[in-house]
Structure 1
Amino acid sequence: MLGVESVTRWARWGRAYFGLQAIAGASWWIAVFTSSMVREATLGNLNPVAVAALDLPLFVVASAFAGFGFRAAAVVSTCWTSIVAVALATYATITTEAGWGAVIMLAAAAGALIALCLILLGRLPTSWIIRGPFTFRPAKSHPSAAKHVASTFVQIVIFWGSFLVVIPVTLAALEQRWAATLPFPSFAGPFGLAVLVLAIALGLWSAVAMSTLGDGTPLPLAMANRLVIAGPYRWVRNPMAVAGIVQGAAVGLILQSWFVVAYAVAGSLVWNYAVRPLEEFDLKERFGEEFQRYQETVKCWIPRVPQTPRP
């Protein structure tokens, strides 16, 4: 449970975000009415006066009141920001206009939702991540590792196909459709391909080590029954996460899509600050001092020369 002081501190951060959002929103509207380039890039052919009639009170003013601690205003601002983000994204996809406006408002909606959670809950509800199919459960033990290996490779096909093919290709297509592309150096594609091959090798090595030595799979609903500290796990505690994040960034370079690179960076933040603490708590609960010693010996993200955890 979070203490009152901690809840209050996080709520202050949430209010600070809304205060900054109010200032940014007001500045944006000034730019809209003074710069045709900003107006076309963010609103396309939409009537700025008609949009401002709703957005100024529901986005700028509501954010300002939320910054001063009015919870209802924070709810109004977040709901309105989310509606505008979806509407602009739809408009940009249909018309190829206002793409940068869609990008800005989607980012603002994500920030507002996080800030609202901090104000109302005093925390981010990260525990919701491990509900349903992502609930942490040990895998059923099998006398042979073959079933775990087979299950792991099915997971790889599904997860890599979804997170490294379907989602990136969709994001890259939206980036083009929204005319929100940024230039990449000529070597980005070949470099990304080389990095992708290395990251795939690391991911497969990690998956095989987990399924053959851990009596389980990397998936939360069928977790390993034994702590794996061999193979790449001797170098870094989360080689599969490292591989996945690097793969996402590499795919972004291959597609020359900053949307995809940003998606990989966002995924790394979600994993590090939301998923990893929950996973490590579960590992401490199940493996106790064994995991504690491993945690003290091997870094989470930065590889180091393999060392045998002290007995």
Structure 2
Amino acid sequence: MGKYKVTEGPLKKKVIGLFFLGMLLMIVIEVGIGWACSNWGRIHFGWLNQVLGTVLTIGGIALVIWSVLTQYLIGNGTPAPMVATQKLVTQGPYSYTRNPMTLGAVFLYSGIGIWMSSGVLIILNIIVFSILLTFIYFHETRELVERFGEEYQDYRKRTPFLFPNFWRKHE
């Protein structure tokens, strides 16, 4: 595996902690932008914004946590390249989509934008996630093929990139 070494103990736990701290910081920034731009491009459907926004936000947080814990417990690693997983993770949320953590983040940040009735946040999320997904598709896919070879190619053929197909049989 070359540059993707096994890291045990404190560093792995620190990376997980920093990941969640970074996620919290991004939530604060998102809310701050939404608040600062609260008079621009309001998309308001009354109580529906709060219900849909809350469901997406909570669902997104749950999916991100489930994804990170699955990488940590099954893959013996983290989302960070410096403490990368040591085996290809295809269980849990990864049996439905190759990028459940990103899907969770899309739900989370879109939920905040909808909850705040902020057209600015919704547009900003579309732009940011379009760039992120392009990077993941071209860079991370190539890296995973390099690390896991045919095993990843098989997984890639049977598992959708982002949006789950609930009608197919899962592992």
TM-score interval, normalised by the smaller of the two chains: 0.7 to 0.9
Distance 1:306 1:224, change over 3 A: farther
TM-score normalised per structure 1:
0.49
- Aligned residue runs from structure 1 range 191-230, under 5 A: 191-230=52-91
Q: 1:161 aligns with which of 15, 24, 27?
A: 24
The answer as to 2:112 corresponding to 1:246 is: no
Q: Which amino acid aligns with 1:159?
A: G
What are the superposed Cα offsets for residues 148-181 of structure 1, whole Å, 9 maximum, x if unpaired? 4x3454134222112222x2123113313xx423
SS for the counterpart of 1:288 is: helix
Query: Which residue number in structure 2 is paired with residue 120 of structure 1?
Result: none
Preserved contact between residue 138 and residue 225 of structure 1 (Cα < 8 Å) = yes
Deviation at 1:240, TM superposition (A): 0.2
Counterpart Cα distance in 2 of 1:251 and 1:296: 33
Moved beyond 3 Å, runs of 4+: 305-308
Preserved contact between residue 31 and residue 112 of structure 2 (Cα < 8 Å) = no
Deviation at 1:183, TM superposition (A): 3.6
Counterpart Cα distance in 2 of 1:164 and 1:138: 29
Q: RCO higher in 1 or 2 (8 Å CA, sep ≥ 6)?
A: 2
Query: Which residue number in structure 1 is paired with residue 45 of structure 2?
Result: 185
Deviation at 1:263, TM superposition (A): 2.0
Deviation at 1:190, TM superposition (A): 2.2
List gaps (5 residues or longer) in structure 1: 1-136
Distance 1:272 1:147, change over 3 A: same
List gaps (5 residues or longer) in structure 2: none
Preserved contact between residue 40 and residue 119 of structure 2 (Cα < 8 Å) = no
Q: 2:33 aligns with which of 128, 148, 171?
A: 171
Q: Rg bigger for which structure?
A: 1
Higher helix fraction: Structure 1 or Structure 2? 1
TM-score normalised per structure 2:
0.86
Deviation at 1:244, TM superposition (A): 0.5
- Report how many residues are paired: 166
Query: Which residue number in structure 2 is paired with residue 132 of structure 1?
Result: none
Counterpart Cα distance in 1 of 2:120 and 2:59: 22
Counterpart Cα distance in 1 of 2:120 and 2:81: 27
Query: Which residue number in structure 2 is paired with residue 138 of structure 1?
Result: 4
- Of all paired residues, the percent bearing the same amino acid is 22
Preserved contact between residue 233 and residue 239 of structure 1 (Cα < 8 Å) = yes
What is the CA RMSD across the aligned residues, in angstroms?
A: 2.0
Counterpart Cα distance in 2 of 1:139 and 1:159: 23
